[in-house]
Chains A and B, each alone.
Chain A
Amino acid sequence: MIQNFISMNGYGFFVWLSFAITFLACGVVYYKTYRTLKKYEKDFAKELSQLSEAEKKLVLEKSKVASQFLASYNKSI
Chain B
Amino acid sequence: MFDLINPSRIFYWIEKLINFINSIFFILLIIALTFALVLSPPDYLQGDSVRIMYVHVPSAWIGLASFTVIALLSMLSFIFKIKNLNIITKSIAPIGLLFTCLAIITGSIWGKPTWGTWWAWDARITSMLVLSIFYVLFILAHKLIEKEDKAIKVSNIIAVIGLINIPVIRYSVDWWNTLHQPSSIKIDGTTSIHPSMLMPLMLMLLVLLLYCALILLMKYKTEIIRIKKKNIKRI
Contacts and interface: CB of A to CB of B under 8 A. Distances in A.
Contact of A19 (B55, B94, B222): B55
Contacts of B42: 9
Contacts of B219: 33, 37
- Counting contact residues on chain A (CB < 8 A from B), the size range is 35 or more
Contact of A18 (B11, B56, B218): B56
Given A5-B38, A11-B49, A21-B102, A65 B11 contact: yes
Contact of A40 (B47, B95, B225): B225
Contacts of A11: 47-49, 51, 113
A63 B11 CA distance: 12
A44 B47 CA distance: 53
Contacts of A12: 48
Given A11-B113, A65-B11, A33 B55 contact: no
B100 to A, nearest CB: 12
B224 A65 contact: yes
7 contacts: A5-B38, A11-B48, A15-B49, A15-B51, A18-B52, A62-B235, A63-B231
Interface string B193-216: 000000000000000100100110
Nearest to B7: A65
Interface of A: 5, 8-12, 14-15, 17-19, 21-22, 25-26, 29-30, 33-34, 36-37, 40-41, 43-44, 47-48, 51, 58-59, 62-66, 68-69, 72
B15 A72 contact: yes
A43 B229 CA distance: 8
B150 interface: no
Interface stretch (B104-112, B153-161, B181-189): B104-112
B214 to A, nearest CB: 7
Contacts of B225: 37, 40-41, 44, 69
Contacts of B7: 65
B2 interface: no
B8 interface: yes
Interface in B47-73: 47-49, 51-52, 55-56, 59
A69 B15 CA distance: 10
A31 B55 CA distance: 20
B37 interface: yes
B55 to A, nearest CB: 4
